[in-house]
Amino acid sequence: METLSLLMDGFAVAMTAQNLFLAVLGCFLGTLMGALPGLGPANGVAILIPIAFSLGLGPTPSLILLTSVYYGAMYGGRISSILLNIPGDEPAMMTCLDGHPMALNGHAGEALSLSGVASFVGAFVATCGLVVLAPQLVKIALLFGPAEYFVLFTVAFATLGGISSTNQAKSAFAAALGLGIAMIGSDSQTGSQRFTFDHIHLYDGIDFLIAIVGLFALSEVFIFLEHHRGGSVGATNATKIGRIMPDFKMIKYCLPSMARGTGLGFFAGVLPGAGASLGSFLAYSLEKQTVDREGKTFGKGDPRGVAAPEAGNNAASGGALVPMLALGVPGSGTTAVLLAVLLQLNITPGPLLFQKNPDVVWGLIAALFIANIILLAMNIPLVGLFTRVLMVPTRILMPIVAMISFVGIYSITGSTFDVMLMVGFGFVGWLLRKLEVPLVPVILGILLGNQMEVNLRRAMTISDGDWSVLVGSPLAIILWLIAITGFVLPMFMGRRMKDRMQKNRPDDLAPGG
Amino acid sequence: MINKTLKMGVVALIAATGAFSVAQAEGFKAENPQCIAPSNPGGGWDFICRTTAKYLFDLGVIEDAMQVQNMSGGGGGVAFAHVTKERNEDNNLIVAASMSTSARIAQGIYEDAEQDDVHFLATFGAEYGAIAVGKDSKYETLTQMMDDIVADPKSVGIAGGSSVGSYDHIKPMLVAQKAGLEDVTQLKYVSFSGGGEAMTGLLSGSVEALSGDFSEMLGFLESGDIRIIAILAPERLKNFPDIPTAKEQGYDVVGANWRGLYMPAGATDEAKEFWKNAIMTMVADPGFQETLEAAAIAPFNNFGDDMYNFVAGSIADVTKLSKEIGIIQ
Amino acid sequence: MSDRIFGGFGLALAIFYIWAASIIKDSFMVDIVGPRAFPYIVGAILGLTSIYFILRPDDEPEWPIMRDFAEILFAGAVMLLYAWSLPEVGFIISTIFATAYLTWRLGTAPLWSLAIGVMTSVGIYVVFHLILGLSLAKGPLGF
């Protein structure tokens, strides 16, 4: 009950005209930044910090503005995923897999409104969880030592098999490629230079934003160049945008997917070493294994494949606030920036934050609820506007997307080297697409590679090289069981599916070399 | 209280007008000033830039808002090379620096870098290192822990927020050396990415102790989740008189991490003077001092020649220490 | 056949990767696993999967004809040139030309392409620089 009255106080703080205006502004700017490839939530918040300060805002209004941007960017990332097959930020990667096929089938409107609702559900439930469970959740997060984190990442890679490609070897190759790219740079454990060849721009590794924008956005441009060369202007095949208002039947159909996605995403968000990308990834891959074991509809525009990862990534973004507020440990790049903001506002996150600055914490949580509702209200009517993007002829849209990608990267890193690297990734992405090597595992490898390795090495250092530490706790053993199930099941299912397909279509040509 | 604030305000005002008159007399005015944080958003260097940008603008020292540019890479090496090679004559550029900057120059982690490649402008704060254990730890004093470490260096895992060989690692190695451990490289140091993550390592019981900056531990100390068994300061802290120093427990080790700024070496003398005065104005501001205090950073001011000598001394210290414990030749 | 060539390249990459991992210089102190073990595992997976591609290739993808391939290479070159020119001539001018080139190659009339280039460039400058306050490349002319 005490919680409730504190929350009410929080709402009283957040509901002033100025704060509401800031929330609306933040939601709008956040959605914009999330939708632009190359600018993710972390950069969005970082970019707006000086604006918040130059406006002379106090701690609570600044936080309201910036968290609205955070949630807004998490919402916005899906827009370009669905419309352009280019993730606006890294957790929105999974939304491409079914969201873009939906748009191609003429359901862009439904995909956008459904994902808006899913985002709302995920973020809303996560915010409730944050209110009720924050202190208990911290205890769960602390059950995860280095060994457990390592096994958790193994789970992610083990369930990769079910994703996107029919050729498991190509998925594995792609994941290894991503992991290999993640190894580039100074080794965080010893400071040794790895694969940098004394090139100073590589010392800090390759930013996943460069990889994601290059692999997805620029390769898309190359593909269009290949197909629409000199004069033959093809109209986009997605001129049909479908219903703009949410389809309640579809939402009801997807509710269980949203619920599962929300649960998994929130859990991943609470773990400081995991984060939103892992949340949306697990939500998608496990959803697929739950409802579509035979791979019939996922990846071809199944609305559940949109609902689950979107609920997952937004729930994770709420969950990530738990360790940030209660431990002062950011679970993602964005929460790292928010942490810096708090510090700058003379607020020290940590175990005492809830006692010491209740007004700030509860004001913040109330702001999250408000931002969520604003985002839902703002996003559903805007679906019509967003889908207009598809009306722009490709020959004009694609160069603009390419330029925005360049600007996004250049304005953050300020380095021409990074822009050139991005062009390189674009070309590699085009080649990989041609060869049907899935791109999602590459990004996943880049995102999780370092964490995975570093946690393994920490676990080994702590145990003095005793490998049994990896199965040293009940939690680790449970995670191993999940990983093994996730790895073995799709192989088994895949074989059964292949058998059935061969039975149904015996005349198919055998694959040739 | 009011009186005190007023007095400090007046001081700030005088300082501010002082800065202006100097700046105007010599005809330098900052235009589109920029602060490079050699790291990603969040973290110490970013904090320096954003705080400086905010206060310089709020105090009217600069007329245009200062842009903060994040340039991560090579533990600050990318930004260092960028400044020395590409913007050596930029009058409107300042860069965040700290103990890590001088330590990395000393250990040769920045390619061929020397102190004179840039102009070290000022320090405005510092904080001491500390060693903490969990609240249920069997170690009540640093001595108990060191006895165990000397008997078996692998028996105590120490977490730290940066890589092997960093200052967080050097500090416990120095203590262990004073305790009589022969090969200090045997110390079990577990490297985490950042002080916050290292703290979770301690809280989850993965490691027995934590080496880091005092400010990072403050919240957890107050909540009772950890105990600080030693602070690496010359004497006990005024606000925390219960925390013993390492020195009084028989290990004469002091570890201070300073925060400050540098700028391109090729900037004009007028510009260097302008920025020195600008930081002086900022340091005199009570609001700024409150920000530092909230972050548990003690005032620590060096300007001009003092600053040059301080950085030179800091680099010499780290070089000497690293040689002593055998981590550089 | 494409998959076999791809496998060959993958294998070469894996060997290069493992070699590059083997020359990682040890720092003065190393943890138990060390900086090389994980890269070796990654390299091994790259190698094994590449061998698999050589042995069991997929269907042939549809490769572009030579002219289209040249088109892609040219576009890539223009993008690289764009990256190089950003700090040299400034954001607005380089963006106008890069956008115009891509728009033209995708089938818009040359003059229109230039107009779209101008609009894109100025539009991005307004949104990113003037509204969001991001630092874009500054050329000798100040924009």
What confidence tens digit (pLDDT) does each residue in B31-62 have? 888 899 887 665 678 778 888 988 898 888 88
Whether residue A192 lies within 8 A of chain B, CB to CB, comes out as: no
CA–CA distances in Å: residue B4 to residues A23, A482, B259, B291: 37, 63, 26, 17
Whether residue C61 lies within 8 A of chain B, CB to CB, comes out as: no
CATH superfamily of the B2-126+257-324 domain: Bordetella uptake gene, domain 1 (3.40.190.150)
Evaluate whether the domain defined by B135-249 bears CATH number 1.20.210.10.
Answer: no
Tell me which chain B residue has its CA closest to the CA of residue C129. B67
CB contact under 8 A, C71 and A426: no
How many beta-carbon pairs under 8 angstroms link B with C? Answer: 18
pLDDT digits (tens, 9 = 90+) for A288-316: 888 877 777 888 889 999 999 999 989 98
pLDDT digits (tens, 9 = 90+) for A90-135: 788 889 989 999 988 888 888 998 999 999 999 999 998 888 877 7
A373 against B219, higher pLDDT: A373
pLDDT digits (tens, 9 = 90+) for A44-77: 777 777 677 667 777 778 888 888 888 888 888 8
Under a CB-based contact definition with an 8 Å cutoff, are residues A75 and A375 in contact? yes
Residue C95 reports pLDDT greater than 60:
yes
- pLDDT for residue A269: 86
Tell me the CB-side half-sphere exposure of residue A446, using CA atoms within 13 A.
24
Contacts A53 to B, Cβ<8 Å = 50, 54
Q: What mean pLDDT is predicted for residues C87-99?
A: 91
- pLDDT for residue B192: 85
Q: Residues near A46 by Cβ (< 8 Å), separated by ≥ 6?
A: A337, B41, B70
Amino acid, single-letter form, for residue B321? L
Q: How far is B329 from chain C (nearest CA, A)?
A: 10
Q: How far apart are CA A254 and CA C109, in angstroms?
A: 46
Contacts C31 to B, Cβ<8 Å = 164, 191
Band (A509; pLDDT cuts 50, 70, 90):
very low
Q: Which helix (H) or strand (E) holds A496?
A: helix A474-504
Residue A287 reports pLDDT greater than 60:
yes
Residue A506 reports pLDDT greater than 50:
no
Residue A3 reports pLDDT greater than 80:
no
Q: Which of A372-381, B254-263, C95-104, C125-134 has the lowest mean pLDDT?
A: C125-134
Out of B34, B69, B185, the one facing C29 most closely (by C-beta) is B185
User: What DSSP string describes A164-200?
Assistant: S-S-HHHHHHHHHHHHHHHT-EE-TTT--EES-TT-G
Intrachain domains B2-126+257-324 and B135-249 with the same fold: yes
Q: What mean pLDDT is predicted for residues A11-25?
A: 85
Residue B142 reports pLDDT greater than 60:
yes
Mean pLDDT, chain A, integer = 81
Contacts from A468-472 at CB under 8 Å and sequence distance 24+?
A: A469/A147, A470/A147, A470/A150, A470/A151, A472/A147
End-to-end CA, chain B: 54
How many beta-carbon pairs under 8 angstroms link A with B? Answer: 153
Interface ipTM: 0.93
| Residue with tokens 């990862």, as numbered in its chain | A309
Q: What mean pLDDT is predicted for residues B151-178?
A: 88
pLDDT digits (tens, 9 = 90+) for A243-258: 777 778 888 899 999 9
Residue B24 reports pLDDT greater than 50:
no
Residue B25 reports pLDDT greater than 50:
no
Strands B118-134 and B67-70: unpaired
Residues paired with residue B213 on neighbouring β-strands, in sequence order: B129
B263: which DSSP letter?
A: E
| Residue with tokens 């810096």, as numbered in its chain | A340
Q: How far is B238 from chain A (nearest CA, A)?
A: 20
Residue B131 reports pLDDT greater than 90:
yes
Q: Which of A54-58, A448-452, B82-86 has the lowest mean pLDDT?
A: A54-58
Tell me which chain A residue has its CA closest to the CA of residue C125. A407
User: Structural domain boundaries of chain B?
Assistant: 2-126+257-324, 135-249
Q: What mean pLDDT is predicted for residues C107-129?
A: 89
Amino acid, single-letter form, for residue B32? N
- pLDDT for residue A491: 66
- pLDDT for residue B14: 35
